[in-house]
Amino acid sequence: MNTPANLKYTKSDEWFDPASGKTGITDYAQNQLSDIVFIEIFVEAGETIEAGKAIASVESVKASAEIYSPASGKVAAVNKELPNKPESLNTDPFGEAWMIQIEGGSAGEVMDAAAYEKYCEERAH
Amino acid sequence: MTYIPISPKERDAMLETVGVKSLDDLFDAIPVKHRFPKLNLPPALTEMEAMDELSGLAQTNENVRNDLVSFLGAGMYNHYIPSVVDHMLRRGEFYTAYTPYQPEISQGTLQAIFEYQSLMSALTGMDVSNASHYDGATATAEAVNLAYAQFRGKRKKVVMSPGLHPQYREVVRTYTQGMGVDTAGDDEAGIGLSPEAFADQVDDNTCLVIVQYPDFFGRVYDYTKFIDAVHAKGSLVCVVANPTALAMFKTPGSMGADIVVGDGQPLGIPMWYGGPSVGFFTTRKNMVHKMAGRLVGETVDNRGQRAYVLTLTAREQHIKRERATSNICTNQGLIALGTAVYLSVLGKKGFRQVAELCYQKAHYTATQLSKVKGYKLSHNEPFFHEFTLQCPEPVTEINAHLLEHGIIGGYDLGQDYPSLANHMLIAVTEMNSKEEIDAFVEVMSEVSHD
């Protein structure tokens, strides 16, 4: 499992990059969902959002999940390419498959990489 | 496949867990004297006697196959049904069909649904079709669900044409109760408006506009410009179409419709007692994740052979739960199969011939009736196989007179549109011979002389 140390993580398996403001789903999440075939992002650039708000919906071949914002702030950008390449959520969840970028964002309830790894391990048992 | 819900051992374990000795103990709460009350029933009949009684009852029915000539449509149409349709439907493999969750044992059912979907997409000119809904009215209501979800509830108004079937409009209102959806547009005053003028009702709170093709009064419009005008305001457009008309008129898909639905009954399904029927639902590929219902796709199995499976199930309610856009996954598998058999037996040419016969016979009927004193065609627009006729007497009285001559008259529009009292909606299909049409016109003229 890949858990970059520079990112923050939520209990609902989103990541947040405090440096860039970008957010997406974790390697653990994509692995649990298996092959992702559809992503719809609900929010648009310019919107102000609260941490915990549903920002996207992801469908895999066998499950569907809502994605929640890990931070509050203004949506600076939305990854418009992502809906055309839902499979990149499986192959590059921390890079190409970022979902939205939050400007001046303050993270909600998040943990660091070590705590998130432990949290994932606990759920595996 | 055997289905044994419980073994004696399992039953004993369950009884022990709940703390009773036998199954009968579970019924202790019901006093003995109330368990088997004496029912006031006549003595049992033998099969022979029961058959005699039931056929006696059945003989009191009159039907359009043997007893009556019909000019009634308004949503259900009397078409010829090739005998092969029924032969296919009565095959045990199809007749007892259940949701084909297990593709390894359901290839026949899945392929039948796939063929149905392909035919509906071709007929409407749309990208995708689901495996069907209960009927045209419920399919129309599902179009509202899709549009509402497409704008994530931000647009709350649905504009319905007064030329949309009155019962469909009722079903849409029933479905949208409690959703906070505002339904508008179907005032009687709008009956005479052109589609372009009707587009003025659309605002930036509108998620869907629903029109019918041909409309309830039989009129055929090219909705291309109308759809452009509605799209310019950001709303989606649903066209409720008569499938037989699509054999000879432009497809709603080619006019730019976002959703095309309708009732499949004209495609080889009897009118029965008003149902069961089948509702077709087609849309654009980009909205498939919001579409209700089952969807069958074609793929290859692990040996590279063509295979069919239920697909895109992640959008369905058992996975999406409260976030699903509809709680309907039921489809009319058997009846949908009937429509697919009907279309494949007729073929492209045969189906078009049916439509042309309907068109020509309806136009002959309209011409003949318009020559009778007291009657007048209500509209100048092109029509398909149904038209509105202004009558000199109340429609109920005319219909009573027609029935004495073994003819079911048209639909009394006054019951839904008070301004159209004494207006009859007349449907003519390939089933009506010239002799029958002439007899119909003759009886109609007797009424006007009264």
Residue A67 domain-assigned (yes or no) = yes
Residue B433 domain-assigned (yes or no) = yes
Residue from B424, B449, B407 nearest B366 by CA: B424
Residue from B89, B80, B87, B79 nearest B112 by CA: B89
Domain limits for position A73: 15-106
Residue B229 domain-assigned (yes or no) = yes
The minimum CA-CA distance between A114 and chain B, rounded to whole Å, is 31
**Which residue numbers of A have CB closer than 8 Å to B's CBs?**
37-38, 40, 42, 57, 59-64, 66
Residues B351 and B327 occupy one common structural domain = no
In terms of C-beta density within 10 A (0-12 exposed, 13-18 middle, 19 or more buried), how is residue B257 classed? buried
**A to B CB pairs, distance under 8 Å:** 23
Residue A1 domain-assigned (yes or no) = no
Number of structural domains (chain A) is 1
CATH for B251: 3.40.640.10
Residues B73 and B97 occupy one common structural domain = no
Bridge partners of residue B329, in order along the sequence: none
Residues of B in contact with A59 (CB under 8 A): 289, 312, 314-315
Residue B45 domain-assigned (yes or no) = no
Terminus-to-terminus CA distance in chain B, angstroms?
Answer: 67
Residue A9 domain-assigned (yes or no) = no
SS3 B112: helix
Residues of A in contact with B319 (CB under 8 A): 62-64
Domain limits for position B428: 69-82+347-449
The ipTM value here is: 0.77
Residue finishing a domain among B319, B341, B363: B341
Residue from B249, B217, B242 nearest B377 by CA: B217
Residues B199 and B285 occupy one common structural domain = yes
CATH for A62: 2.40.50.100
Residues B150 and B283 occupy one common structural domain = yes
Residues B311 and B352 occupy one common structural domain = no
Residue finishing a domain among B341, B369, B397: B341
Question: If you measure CA to CA, which chain B residue comes closest to A63?
Answer: B314
Q: Which residues contact B284 (CB under 8 A, 6 or more apart)?
A: B126, B127, B128, B258, B259
Q: Do B323 and A64 touch (CB under 8 A)?
A: yes
Residue A6 domain-assigned (yes or no) = no
Partner A contacted by B297 (CB < 8 A)? no
The minimum CA-CA distance between A101 and chain B, rounded to whole Å, is 21
CATH for B434: 3.90.1150.10
Residues B362 and B232 occupy one common structural domain = no
Residue finishing a domain among B341, B368, B390: B341
Residues B331 and B367 occupy one common structural domain = no
Residues B246 and B99 occupy one common structural domain = yes
Number of structural domains (chain B) is 2
Residue B199 domain-assigned (yes or no) = yes
Residue B363 domain-assigned (yes or no) = yes
pTM across the whole model: 0.88
Residue B183 domain-assigned (yes or no) = yes
Residue B204 domain-assigned (yes or no) = yes
Residues B276 and B393 occupy one common structural domain = no
Ordered per-residue pLDDT tens for chain B, 450 residues? 566 778 889 999 999 999 999 988 999 999 988 988 889 999 999 999 999 999 999 999 888 988 999 999 999 999 999 999 999 999 988 887 677 778 888 899 999 999 999 999 999 999 999 999 999 999 999 999 999 999 988 999 999 999 999 999 999 999 999 999 999 999 998 898 888 888 889 999 999 999 999 999 999 999 999 999 999 999 999 999 999 999 999 999 999 999 999 999 999 999 998 899 999 999 999 999 889 888 999 999 999 999 999 988 777 777 777 777 777 777 888 999 999 999 999 999 999 999 999 999 999 999 999 999 999 999 999 999 999 999 999 999 999 999 999 999 999 999 999 999 999 999 999 999 999 999 999 999 998 654
User: What's phi and psi for B59, nearest 5 deg?
Assistant: -70, -15
Residues B76 and B87 occupy one common structural domain = no
